[in-house]
Amino acid sequence: MNWQADWGLRVRMFVTMFLLFALYIVFAGVITAYVGGGLFFFAFLFGGFSLVQYYFSDTLTLKSMGAKTVSREEDPQLHASIERLSQQADLPKPKVAVVDSSVPNAFATGRNQKNAAVCVTTGLTHTLERDELDGVLAHELAHVKNRDMMVMTIASFLSTIAFMMVRWGAFFGGGHGRGREGGGGGIVVAILVSLVVWIISYLLIRALSRYREFAADRGAAAITGNPSALASALLKISGQMDKVPKEDLREEAEMNAFFIIPIKSGVIGRLFSTHPSTERRVERLRDLEREMQAF
């Protein structure tokens, strides 16, 4: 199977990104009118921290998850699989890392294709067969190939600023407020606008994340030529996730957007999930399997 564009999926991602861009333009205009330079100083400061975090994203993410980078001698089979799949995906081989966790999952991180890492948990390697594990690894490599870390970082930047303004809106008070509403009134308007922007962007970013999961699934099928193996892995992992203690779920919840299967945390967690449902993903993978068999 060739690495082909899914134009329906691309259109949905484009529309979502366009809506985010339009929302942020309105946000910047309103905040400039009511807050003035305070926002830009904060954005500059926060942007600097975000840039540092993004630049060192592979190291920081692995450390935050308690992952250990493993050498070829420590895990020759995992290295061999990632090297082979990277060649099939036309990618530089990423760092290889392992988390000692019973939660069966995997994630990719890194600012670009040359500075990436793929990490799996010990629970994942104990749960899956070799071809299923290849499907999961290929999914993570597809995220790297699609530059999803960069896309999601850019998409969420102003959303994060809006959230910070809602949380610490008083910081922008005093002499920064101006406009017809006066200082205090201007800050109230800025906080309300920030709240609306954050809520809408929150939903749009999660929709974008779900679309990119579909794209990574399709990429994995192209890399391995075996969509059914990834479908089988998703069903296995999804079933195992329901058995993981709630304490472990809370520890891993912050990494939802990067996992092969997200942590489920009640109705709200599913409603605003960063991932499509396993059923929809499996259905699409089976459609891809039928497409391949038709050729």
Catalytic site residues?
140
CA distances, 130 to each of 82, 136, 168, 265, 285 (Å): 12, 10, 49, 29, 18
> Of all helices (H) and strands (E), which one includes residue 119?
strand 115-121
> Of all helices (H) and strands (E), which one includes residue 103?
none
d(CA 224, CA 201): 34
68: helix, coil or strand?
strand
Alpha helices in the chain (DSSP H): 7-35, 37-55, 57-64, 76-88, 122-127, 130-145, 148-167, 182-224, 227-241, 246-252, 266-271, 278-294
d(CA 158, CA 42): 11
d(CA 155, CA 150): 9
